[in-house]
């Protein structure tokens, strides 16, 4: 209708452009929110493990990978929808994370951070390689019955699967926050994060709390992986990319609370969505901008946007 | 945080004791410094015999081993001695490679490119160090990682040297043996520099910063400038290695010379060998790279799994590094102990070290 009006009245071209750019801006905002929340899911487990255990888990990307391939396997072999199968994926990843922490990382938890850095890097190599052996290095994607469908408001398009993923990401953030604040176990995790030795004196089994925390971190990574494989084609080389992004997101948002991951995810999503649209820059600079942003945040506000001392 | 990495005795020397003057503060490698120096020089002298084998594959492998030995040793200046773990030192490798590549493409001799790369890397380390060395621990690691990653992307997008940042160089005028000895010289220079740092005032200042930055500052060490100096010191040999690698490989692209894997390898080799020790990075570069090449040759499908498993096992069981373990094992015991008692005591100590890092 609008197009017709413009054709008949060439003088009114300006409002037409304004209309289009308004819709474009709305679409950019929607894309940003959807992507940003998804990134929050990517970083949530990473942020938890870092905040509580002071471990930068370089195997985070490998857990995302395992989650993605579990969802892929369940979908192609057992015909389980990736979103419905999410609890199962998370349970499997929880067990994997629990075992990794109990068997390996707990042994060097008091060593300086370089050691855990290297250990998780080794685990990342190992897990990613096993995934590649099992599933080959081909790109995989999931096509559900509702892939490609979405809500359409005028020119505004919101894909169902992305919307669902964003909602689940926000739900997971809220659930983690509530779990940490409202339950006894959650409080024990927080207490361990604040002061390991004091927590032990209060009767908390540190090794179990660490295994639980790492398991939760892996489960959240698995959830992110299951949602990612539903949205984007996936291959085993991508684990490292997501570890790096989780890094940046957590730094941007700050270590304080699960909501820091959401804030960081939104900032990172903003950089990735908006920067390529700026005149004179074009696509491809998004990661460079994100890393530059991260370095600036580190120097001028090392605690991140929502950062506090610990999970509280 | 870094205090627990080394024997507590080194940090306790900072406190004023009556007998402190008779017992000067020494780094971990200090007690056996002459022996470490001699062992290292013998290893390097033996490495100089490799080209005699005449086997091109062996020469190739050992060229890379010496390159990684130089990289790990230069990482050790900042990461091992000063305790600032950079995860983006590959940035300087890339700077060296691109300076050399671009100057060769512009028709200049290669040595000019390598030197220009070293100067550029030194300047960049100084300028970047000004803001970045105010950060500590994880945050310093991540900031340096971010710089390297962002540069890799920028070089690729700006099409530096060619489409996508791919640089194609003419075949080098030097023989493979000449390249081998250039890398050998670099590794030797890094080793001698490490030996100097382990036994000199600037080196002690860096170790003091690692053990306690506040104490070092209070003792009158200008910690900030020492840290920047160590950063420059670790950047220059890295850039030299990058420049040599660029000319040797005759072609490279941003994912190769800005590969995070190279940064991680520098950290890995130093920590496996023993951070802040004289021999550690050199020995582990040789052992680990040989092992890595063996995995690559024997079965490429399991290469990364075996590498990952090795890293995991080594970090779990000897988190203080090979040199630290050997020193702990051979630390002087009470006189009059039999060899058997000595062995039992050594094993007990090693087990205690392993157990000390757990929950």
Predicted pLDDT of residue A218:
96
CA distance B107 to chain A (A): 31
Same structural domain, B88 and B228: yes
> Residue A107: closest CA among chain B residues belongs to which residue?
B358
pLDDT at B334 over 70: no
Domain total of chain B: 2
Predicted pLDDT of residue A2:
38
Same structural domain, B179 and B45: yes
Report the distance separating Cα B355 and Cα B358, nearest Å: 6
Residue A106 near chain B (CB below 8 Å): yes
Query: Mean of the pLDDT values across residues A130-159?
Result: 81
Report the distance separating Cα B259 and Cα B328, nearest Å: 35
Tell which B residues from 125 to 144 touch A, by Cβ distance under 8 Å: 131-132, 134-135, 137-139, 141-143
Mutate to test the interface with B, among A49, A62, A110, A114 (most CBs of B within 10 A): A114
Residue B15: pLDDT band with limits 50, 70, 90: very low
Are A121 and B157 a contacting pair at CB < 8 A?
no
Predicted pLDDT of residue A223:
95
CATH number at residue B102: 1.10.3470
CA distance A20 to chain B (A): 30
Residue A281 near chain B (CB below 8 Å): no
Residue A247: pLDDT band with limits 50, 70, 90: confident
Query: Mean of the pLDDT values across residues A126-132?
Result: 89
Lowest mean pLDDT among A63-77, A114-128, A261-275, A288-302: A288-302
Query: Considering the domain boundaries, does residue B15 fall inside one?
Result: no
From chain A, the residues in CB contact with B138 under 8 A are: 50, 56, 113
Residue A6 near chain B (CB below 8 Å): no
Domains of chain A: 33-137+157-300 (1.10.3470)
Are B304 and A104 a contacting pair at CB < 8 A?
no
Average pLDDT of chain B is 82
From chain B, the residues in CB contact with A192 under 8 A are: none
Are A108 and B312 a contacting pair at CB < 8 A?
no
Q: Which residue has the higher pLDDT, B333 or B54?
A: B54
Predicted pLDDT of residue B26:
40
Query: Considering the domain boundaries, does residue B61 fall inside one?
Result: yes
Query: Considering the domain boundaries, does residue B349 fall inside one?
Result: yes
Here the tokens at position B307 are 């590498």
Report the distance separating Cα A296 and Cα B132, nearest Å: 10
Same structural domain, B214 and B328: no
> Residue A55: closest CA among chain B residues belongs to which residue?
B138
From chain A, the residues in CB contact with B305 under 8 A are: 125-126, 129-130, 133
Query: Mean of the pLDDT values across residues A116-139?
Result: 87
Query: Mean of the pLDDT values across residues A166-188?
Result: 93
Predicted pLDDT of residue B282:
92
Predicted pLDDT of residue B231:
96
Same structural domain, B305 and B289: yes
Predicted pLDDT of residue A43:
93
> Residue A196: closest CA among chain B residues belongs to which residue?
B359
Q: Which residue has the higher pLDDT, B310 or A200?
A: A200
Q: Which of B267, B305, B359 sits opposite A210 (nearest CB)?
A: B359
Are A299 and B308 a contacting pair at CB < 8 A?
no
CA distance B183 to chain A (A): 26
Same structural domain, B262 and B242: yes
Mutate to test the interface with A, among B153, B315, B318 (most CBs of A within 10 A): B315
The three-class DSSP label of residue B100 is helix
B358, A110 Cβ separation under 8 angstroms: yes
Lowest mean pLDDT among A72-86, A141-155, B117-131: A141-155
Lowest mean pLDDT among A93-102, A163-172, B2-11, B60-69: B2-11
Report the distance separating Cα A115 and Cα A106, nearest Å: 12
Query: Considering the domain boundaries, does residue B120 fall inside one?
Result: yes
Model ipTM value: 0.77
Same structural domain, B307 and B336: no
What's the first-to-final CA gap in chain A, in angstroms?
Answer: 54
Predicted pLDDT of residue B91:
95
Share of chain B above pLDDT 70, in %: 84
Query: Considering the domain boundaries, does residue B19 fall inside one?
Result: no
From chain B, the residues in CB contact with A50 under 8 A are: 138
Query: Considering the domain boundaries, does residue B4 fall inside one?
Result: no
Tell which A residues from 209 to 228 touch B, by Cβ distance under 8 Å: 210
Are B357 and A124 a contacting pair at CB < 8 A?
no
With 0-12 / 13-18 / 19 or more C-beta atoms within 10 angstroms meaning exposed / middle / buried, residue A198 is: exposed
Are B149 and A287 a contacting pair at CB < 8 A?
yes
Q: Tell me the backbone φ, ψ of residue A81, rounded to 5 degrees.
A: -60, 135
Here the tokens at position A233 are 């084609």
Are A110 and B357 a contacting pair at CB < 8 A?
yes
The pTM of the full predicted model, rounded to 2 decimals, is: 0.79
pLDDT at B95 over 90: yes
Predicted pLDDT of residue B49:
87
Lowest mean pLDDT among A115-119, A173-177, B342-346: B342-346
Residue after which a domain boundary falls, among B317, B333, B348: B317
pLDDT at A287 over 50: yes
Are B143 and A107 a contacting pair at CB < 8 A?
no
Lowest mean pLDDT among B39-53, B153-167, B203-217: B153-167
pLDDT at A212 over 50: yes
pLDDT at A302 over 80: no
Here the tokens at position B288 are 């680990």
Are A129 and B154 a contacting pair at CB < 8 A?
no
From chain A, the residues in CB contact with B295 under 8 A are: none
Listing DSSP states for chain A in one string gives -HHHHHHH-GGGHHHHHHHHHHHHHHHHHHHHHHHHHHHHHHHHHHHHHHHHH----TTHHHHHHHHHHHHHHHHHHH---TTTTHHHHHHHHHHHHHHHHHHTGGGGTTS-HHHHHHHHHHHHHHHHHHHHHHH-S--B----TTTT-EEEETTEEEEHHHHHHHHHHHHHHHHHHHHHHHSHHHHHHHHHHH-HHHHHHTT--HHHHHHHHHHHHHHHHHHHHHHHHHHS-B-GGGHHHHHHHHHHHHHHH-SSSHHHHHHHHHHHHHHHHHGGGSTTT-TT-HHHHHHHHHHHHHHH-TT-SS--SS--
Q: Tell me the backbone φ, ψ of residue A130, rounded to 5 degrees.
A: -65, -40
Same structural domain, B304 and B355: no
pLDDT at B7 over 50: no
Same structural domain, B312 and B336: no
Query: Considering the domain boundaries, does residue B97 fall inside one?
Result: yes
Average pLDDT of chain A is 83
Query: Mean of the pLDDT values across residues A137-165?
Result: 81
From chain A, the residues in CB contact with B268 under 8 A are: 118, 121
Tell which B residues from 1 to 30 touch A, by Cβ distance under 8 Å: 1-2, 4-5
Residue A224: pLDDT band with limits 50, 70, 90: very high
pLDDT at B336 over 80: no
Predicted pLDDT of residue B192:
95
Report the distance separating Cα A109 and Cα A115, nearest Å: 9
Are B146 and A112 a contacting pair at CB < 8 A?
no
Report the distance separating Cα B190 and Cα B200, nearest Å: 15
pLDDT at B170 over 90: no
B221, B202 Cβ separation under 8 angstroms: no
CA distance B355 to chain A (A): 7
Are B359 and A206 a contacting pair at CB < 8 A?
yes
Query: Which residue segment(s) compose the domain that B155 sits in?
Result: 30-317
Report the distance separating Cα A100 and Cα B286, nearest Å: 30
Same structural domain, B209 and B79: yes
Residue B116: pLDDT band with limits 50, 70, 90: very high
Query: Mean of the pLDDT values across residues B334-344?
Result: 71
Same structural domain, B339 and B298: no
With 0-12 / 13-18 / 19 or more C-beta atoms within 10 angstroms meaning exposed / middle / buried, residue A51 is: buried
Report the distance separating Cα B221 and Cα B218, nearest Å: 7
Predicted pLDDT of residue B19:
38
Same structural domain, B242 and B191: yes
The number of residues in chain B equals: 359
Mutate to test the interface with B, among A53, A65, A116, A122 (most CBs of B within 10 A): A122
Predicted pLDDT of residue B344:
79
Report the distance separating Cα B131 and Cα B134, nearest Å: 6
| CA neighbor of A219 nearest in space, from A72, A100, A111 | A100
Q: How many interface pairs between A and B have CB atoms less than 8 angstroms apart?
A: 151
Same structural domain, B214 and B346: no
Predicted pLDDT of residue B100:
93
Query: Mean of the pLDDT values across residues A205-218?
Result: 94
């Amino acid at each position: 209708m609008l197009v017709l009006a413009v054709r008949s009245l060439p003088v009114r071209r300006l409002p037409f452009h304004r209309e289009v750019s308004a819709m474009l801006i709305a679409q950019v905002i929607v894309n940003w929110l959807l992507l940003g929340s998804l990134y929050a899911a990517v970083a949530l487990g990473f942020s938890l493990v870092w905040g509580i255990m002071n471990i930068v888990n370089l195997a985070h990307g490998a857990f995302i990978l395992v989650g993605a391939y579990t969802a892929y396997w369940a979908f192609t072999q057992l015909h389980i929808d990736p979103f419905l199968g999410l609890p199962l994926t998370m349970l499997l990843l929880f067990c994997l994370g629990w075992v990794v922490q109990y068997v390996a990382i707990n042994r060097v938890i008091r060593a300086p951070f370089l050691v855990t850095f290297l250990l998780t890097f080794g685990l990342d190599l190992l897990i990613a390689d096993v995934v590649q052996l099992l599933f080959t290095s081909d790109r995989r994607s999931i096509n559900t019955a509702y892939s490609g469908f979405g809500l359409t408001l005028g020119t505004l398009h919101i894909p169902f699967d992305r919307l669902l993923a964003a909602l689940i990401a926000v739900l997971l953030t809220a659930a983690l926050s509530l779990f940490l604040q409202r339950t006894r176990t959650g409080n024990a995790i927080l207490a361990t994060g604040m002061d390991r030795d004091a927590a032990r004196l209060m009767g908390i089994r540190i090794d179990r709390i660490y295994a639980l925390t790492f398991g939760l971190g892996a489960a959240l990574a698995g959830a992110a992986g299951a949602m990612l494989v539903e949205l984007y084609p996936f291959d085993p080389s991508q684990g490292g990319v997501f570890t790096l992004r989780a890094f940046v997101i957590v730094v941007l948002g700050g270590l304080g609370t699960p909501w820091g991951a959401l804030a960081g995810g939104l900032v990172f999503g903003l950089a990735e969505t908006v920067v390529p649209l700026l005149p004179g820059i074009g696509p491809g600079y998004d990661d460079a901008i994100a890393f530059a942003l991260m370095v600036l945040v580190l120097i001028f506000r090392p605690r991140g946007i929502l950062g506090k001392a610990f999970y509280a | 945080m870094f205090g627990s990495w080394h024997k507590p005795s080194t940090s306790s020397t900072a406190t004023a004791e009556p007998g402190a003057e008779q017992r000067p503060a020494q780094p971990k490698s200090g007690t056996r410094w002459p022996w470490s120096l001699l062992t290292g020089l013998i290893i390097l002298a033996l490495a100089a015999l490799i080209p005699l084998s005449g086997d091109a594959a062996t020469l190739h492998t050992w060229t890379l081993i010496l390159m990684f030995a130089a990289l790990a040793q230069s990482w050790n200046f900042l990461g091992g001695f000063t305790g600032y773990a950079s995860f983006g030192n590959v940035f300087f490798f890339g700077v060296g490679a691109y300076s050399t590549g671009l100057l060769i493409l512009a028709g200049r001799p290669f040595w000019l490119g390598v030197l220009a790369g070293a100067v550029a890397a030194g300047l960049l380390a100084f300028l970047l160090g000004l803001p970045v060395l105010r950060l500590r621990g994880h945050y310093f690691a991540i900031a340096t990682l971010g710089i390297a990653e962002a540069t890799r992307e920028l070089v690729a997008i700006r099409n530096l040297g060619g489409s996508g940042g791919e640089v194609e160089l003419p075949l080098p005028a030097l023989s493979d043996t000449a390249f081998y000895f250039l890398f050998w010289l670099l590794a030797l220079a890094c080793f001698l520099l490490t030996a100097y740092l382990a036994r000199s005032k600037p080196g002690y200042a860096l170790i003091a910063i690692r053990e306690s930055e506040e104490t070092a500052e209070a003792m009158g060490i200008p910690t900030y400038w020492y840290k920047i100096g160590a950063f420059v010191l670790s950047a220059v040999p890295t850039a030299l290695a990058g420049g040599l690698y660029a000319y040797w490989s005759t072609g490279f692209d941003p994912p190769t010379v800005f590969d995070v894997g190279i940064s991680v390898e520098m950290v890995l080799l130093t920590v496996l060998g023993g951070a802040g020790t004289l021999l550690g990075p050199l020995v582990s570069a040789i052992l680990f790279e040989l092992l890595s090449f063996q995995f690559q040759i024997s079965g490429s499908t399991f290469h990364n799994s075996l590498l990952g498993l090795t890293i995991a096992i080594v970090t779990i069981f000897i988190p203080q590094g090979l040199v630290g373990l050997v020193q702990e094992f051979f630390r002087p015991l009470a006189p009059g102990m039999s060899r058997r008692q000595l062995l039992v005591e050594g094993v007990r100590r090693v087990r205690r070290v392993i157990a000390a890092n757990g929950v």
